[in-house]
Amino acid sequence: MDTDNKIPVLREGFLVKRGHIVHNWKARWFVLTPDKLLYYKYEGGKRDSCQRGKILLKDCLITCPFLEYENRPLAFKLQTKHGVDHFLEACSREERDEWAADITAALNKLQATDGGKPMSQKDSAQSRLQNINLSKVLDSMYDVHSGIKLSNHVEQGSTYSNCFSGSAVVDWLVFMQLSLTRGEAMTLASALLEEGFLQTVGQRSVEALRTASLSEQFMDDSTALYSFSDSFKKRGSVKSERSLSAVELSGKVVKRGYLLKQGHRRKNWKVRLFVLRSEPDFLHYYDPTKDDISPVGGFSLRGCLISSLDDNGVPSGVKGNIQGNLFKIITKSDIHYFIQAPTHQEKMDWIDAIREHT
């Protein structure tokens, strides 16, 4: 999956991109170079040699996080100097923030080359927080159109309604420009928690509040849950209910990433977002082109066998013009899954992580 060796590659990997004319979402292989972002299509398990498009980075503006797509909280936006918007989605918050950081660094270098000043923070977090009215922040969070989105979350087999995750709050505070950085947003969220505007929901956030220092009370974590406090509640109450179907999704997320999976019937290769969870140990996969937040498939890792497949030739059971970096999982019920990683290192990382939970 290398590009032209003459062009320095700063970063590469799968992102999901929204189309310009038809606003559907498609997985593409992106390559970041010092002055442009290239993207390629995958066919039959192999990257197309011809690029599908490019985004010239000079004078681009980046918005990360970009929260106007309710079901795509991991999206960010690149706007070119001609006002063309490109919407991209990563597989995790860590991946999204790393892509945004690398793109921002490239933008800063281009700007410095032209004699401009790199982007920088204007005010310190402390001085900004001193001037913030927490009641107004809370009112903005309640706003029906632009406020924080309430949804259902699962923790240890219990489903909590009308709440939000800690990382969603941090994303929202940065997106609304109430905070410049994620660290600053955590400090602001901790102040909201300390003043009683927000309350903890579920064991993870409760434990963090009990053990953490004052500045670390709030967790920038997708598994730490919070809600509006009862005394300030305007948009529904938190309810907890047990759901057997939700138990397998209640485990701690150990690893996330885009991988290619071969279909069982048509044997075609599709990019899927894989999520590895522990306690209980499950591997689920999602269709990143759909807005549906439910997995399209998954299985328990108990009793599974996982093996690396040789890159020399096409292994038995595999079809298509594959790139390599294959591994196979055989479930306890003897269902075979053929999966392809973008790189050899990622293949070995996934194999090691899955083996720890089989």
CATH number, domain of 187, equals 1.10.10.10
Per the structure, how many domains does the chain have? 3
Q: Which one, of 29, 50, 35, 121, lies nearest residue 81 by Cα?
A: 35
Confirm if 262 and 269 have CB atoms less than 8 A apart: yes
Angstrom distance (rounded) from CA 100 to CA 78: 10
| Residue 220 counted as domain residue | yes
**Distance between CA atoms of residues 237 and 230, nearest Å:** 8
Judge whether 87 lies within some domain. yes
Question: Of 194, 228, 262, which residue constitutes the final position of a domain?
Answer: 228
Alpha carbon of residue 111 to chain centroid:
28
Residue 137 falls inside a structural domain: no
Residue 216, domain member (yes or no)? yes
**pLDDT (tens digit per residue) in 301-347:** 999 999 998 765 566 667 766 777 899 999 998 999 999 999 999 99
**Tens digits of residue pLDDT in 2-34:** 445 578 999 999 999 998 777 889 999 999 999
What CATH number does residue 59 fall under?
2.30.29.30
Predicted confidence at residue 248, as pLDDT, reads 80
| Sign of the four-CA dihedral 142, 148, 149, 154 | negative
Peptide bond into 315 cis (omega under 30): no
pLDDT for 257 beyond 50: yes
pLDDT (0 to 100) of residue 116:
59
Ordered alpha helix ranges (H), the chain: 93-113, 125-130, 134-142, 166-175, 182-194, 202-211, 344-355
Tell me the average pLDDT of the chain: 83
User: Is residue 238 in some structural domain?
Assistant: no
What are 61-111's pLDDT values in tens digits?
Answer: 999 999 888 889 899 999 988 888 899 999 999 999 999 999 999 999 998
116-130, 262-276, 322-336, 341-355: the lowest-pLDDT one: 116-130
Contact status, residue 15 vs residue 30, Cβ threshold 8 Å: yes
pLDDT in the model for residue 122: 40
Q: Give the residues across from 8 on adjacent strands.
A: none
Do 88 and 185 lie in a common domain? Answer: no
Give the start-end residues of each E strand in the chain. Answer: 11-18, 25-32, 36-43, 46-56, 61-63, 75-79, 85-89, 151-155, 158-165, 198-201, 225-228, 240-242, 252-262, 269-278, 282-286, 297-300, 305-308, 326-330, 336-340
Residues 274 and 336 in one domain: yes
Q: Quick one: 275 and 351 in the same domain?
A: yes
The tally of CA atoms less than 13 A away on the side-chain side of residue 216 is 6
Burial (CB < 10 A; 0-12, 13-18, 19+), residue 8, is: exposed
Q: Is residue 19 part of a domain?
A: yes
Domain membership of residue 22 as a residue range: 11-112
- Token code pair at residue 353: 């992580």
Q: 135 lies in a domain?
A: no
Rounded to an integer, what distance in angstroms lies between the CA atom of residue 343 and that of residue 329? 18
Is the residue at 89 inside a domain? yes
Residue type for position 165 = S
